[in-house]
Amino acid sequence: MFLHGTSKVNEKNHLEIGGVDTVELAKQYGTPLYVYDVALIRERARSFRETFKRLNIAAQVAYASKAFSTIAMVQLAHEEGLSLDVVSGGELFTAIQAGFPVERIHFHGNNKSYEELDMAVKNNIGCIVVDNFYELSLLEQVCIENKTTMKILLRVTPGVEAHTHDYITTGQDDSKFGFGLENGQADQAVEQALHSEYLELLGIHSHIGSQIFETTGFLVAAGKMFGKLKDWKDRFGFAPKVLNLGGGFGIRYTEEDKPLPASKYVEAIIGEVKKHADDLSIDIPEIWIEPGRSIVGDAGTTIYSVGSRKEVPNIRQYIAIDGGMTDNIRPALYQAKYEAVLANRVEDPVEETVSIAGKCCESGDMLIWDLPLPKANSDDMLAVFCTGAYGYAMANNYNRIPRPAVVFVENGEAQLVVQRESYEDLVRLDIPLKSKIVD
């Protein structure tokens, strides 16, 4: 069993996080329950920021709030001196409600609407990461209407895709995101942006993938971007203030996963950036990154109550919990793997291998296959680790199942930061038929 952050087993053989007994939390707030280890989130944020500081490189570490966006989380990101990456009007609204400093908000997305751009411009956010030519014109129009300017980055597709241990240099730009670096689109976008009176081009951005364990993909992408920067310096006299290399730093879900510490990714990236900047006589731009999963992923644990059991003789023991693909769609969507223990009997001896089923009416709603556990029954609670990123963020109401509550724990104290949805919440937007169809 691998325990993350402040998680430990207490004298009652219960899982404790942030000095709080998770069994007590489940009794108080119900299950399923997302529990976040705040100290671990702080530690992850600091390790990125401190590495840049140690290397004496001007940087912004922007938390990719798509991983987990709530008012309390955005406030925590602010407390830790992070910037914020938002990808929709909803995430931007959350950030504004949280009182996040607008000048450190960066707005992403491949199809931002007029209303979203207008909201960003009216709120005077730090920068917009422009994704395509349509947006370039639309944003200019929004700036003209608002009689103001906006700082932008251009998202480019560097022809590098990375996932876990593999990276592929595709050499082409077949992605829905960004301006192709190799097919001339990025050059045209830079030229267009530089000619605009309303847009201030800060630099360029790339994001090469997610759950990446190696540094190579980032280095190849940086190399390709510098190649272009040299070109743009010669052609347009353009020197970028910012180079944003995106997010995607991997975390440990199971023992097969072997991520690098944050410092290693940052050191490798900076080494490469310095080398290219030196070679091409370009000033080192400010380096921005956008970690999401690696800030919140392993800080989240979901506590479930165990319910029914079904044995398929000689084949499998199914154990069902009171959540599933509604609070964690990643196993169904990506075959994602997780580790889990019984929160109320953590160190009891393993007695059987079971498969954990969700409660949705869908065969694909399985959380974990072949998990070694003590013999669990309906008094038990299951703790699934590493659910902090893209868990609550992708939660849904399939089968009209309410979304769970979220609790932050730190230094022996618990704070409810998202209430559990009620049945009333589920029908809140429904409008009954105007006339009776049945007497």
Which positions touch ligand LLP (CB under 6 A)?
64, 67, 85, 108, 207, 210, 246-249, 290-294, 330, 334, 389-390
Query: How would you classify residue 375: left for phi > 0, otherwise alpha for psi between -120 and 50, otherwise beta?
Result: beta
Nearest distance from residue 85's CB to ligand LLP, in Å?
6
Q: Is 155 annotated as a binding residue?
A: no
Which among 127, 360, 361, 386 is annotated as catalytic? 361
The annotation status of 309 as a binding-site residue, yes or no, is no
Residue 361 appears among annotated catalytic residues: yes
Give the separation between CA 64 and CA 296, rounded to whole angstroms. Answer: 10
Question: Is 291 annotated as a binding-site member?
Answer: yes
Please, which residue, 276 or 293, has the CB nearer to ligand LLP? 293
Q: In angstroms, give the least distance from the CB of 369 to ligand LLP.
A: 18
Cα separation values, 359 from 31, 77, 401, Å = 13, 33, 9
Q: Report the nearest approach of ligand LLP to the CB of residue 131 (Å).
A: 10
| 295-334 exposure pattern, b = at least 16 Cβ within 10 A, e = fewer | bbbbbbbbbbbbeeeeeeeeeebebbbbbbbbbbbbbbee
Closer of 64 and 407 to ligand LLP (Cβ): 64
Nearer to ligand LLP, 176 or 436 (CB): 176
290 carries a ligand binding annotation: yes
Phi-psi region of 243 (alpha: psi -120 to 50; beta: other; left: phi over 0): beta
Closer of 126 and 292 to ligand LLP (Cβ): 292
Q: How far apart are alpha carbons 406 and 403 in whole angstroms? A: 10
**Residues whose CB is less than 8 angstroms from the CB of residue 430 and which lie 6 or more positions away in sequence, other chains included:** none
β-bridge mates for residue 397, sequence order: none
Residue with Cβ nearer ligand LLP (179 or 249): 249
| C-alpha span between 386 and 22 (Å, rounded) | 15
246 labelled as ligand-binding?
Answer: no
In the bound complex, what is the minimum distance in angstroms from residue 417's beta carbon to ligand LLP? 20
The gap from C-alpha 136 to its chain's centroid, in whole angstroms, comes to 26
**178 appears as a binding residue in the annotation:** no
What is the β-pairing status of strands 105-107 and 83-86? Answer: parallel
Residue 430 DSSP symbol: -
Residue 158 or 248 with smaller CB distance to ligand LLP: 248
Tokens of 420: 């559990």
Per the CB < 8 A criterion, the answer to whether 130 and 142 are in contact is no
Rounded distance between C-alpha atoms, residue 390 and residue 28, angstroms:
25
Three-class secondary structure of residue 167 per DSSP: strand
CB of 128 to ligand LLP, least distance (A): 13
CB of residue 348 to ligand LLP, shortest distance in Å: 31
Q: Which is nearer to ligand LLP, 146 or 175 (CB)?
A: 175
User: What is the full DSSP assignment across 365-419?
Assistant: -EEEEEEEES---TT-EEEEES--SSSGGG---GGGPPPPEEEEEETTEEEEEEP
17 vs 15: CA distance, rounded Å: 7
293 is in an annotated binding site: yes
Q: Measured between alpha carbons, how far is 200 from 149 in angstroms, rounded to an integer?
A: 7
* 390 assigned to a ligand binding site: yes
403 annotated binding-site participant: no
Closest residue to ligand LLP, based on beta-carbon distance: 292
Cα distance between residue 42 and residue 96, in whole Å: 21
Strand partners, 244: 205, 288
* Least distance from ligand LLP to the Cβ atom of residue 87, Å: 7
For the annotated binding site for pyridoxal 5'-phosphate, the residues are 248, 290-293, 390
Active-site positions?
361
For the annotated binding site, the residues are 248, 290-293, 330, 334, 362, 390
For the annotated binding site for substrate, the residues are 293, 330, 334, 362, 390
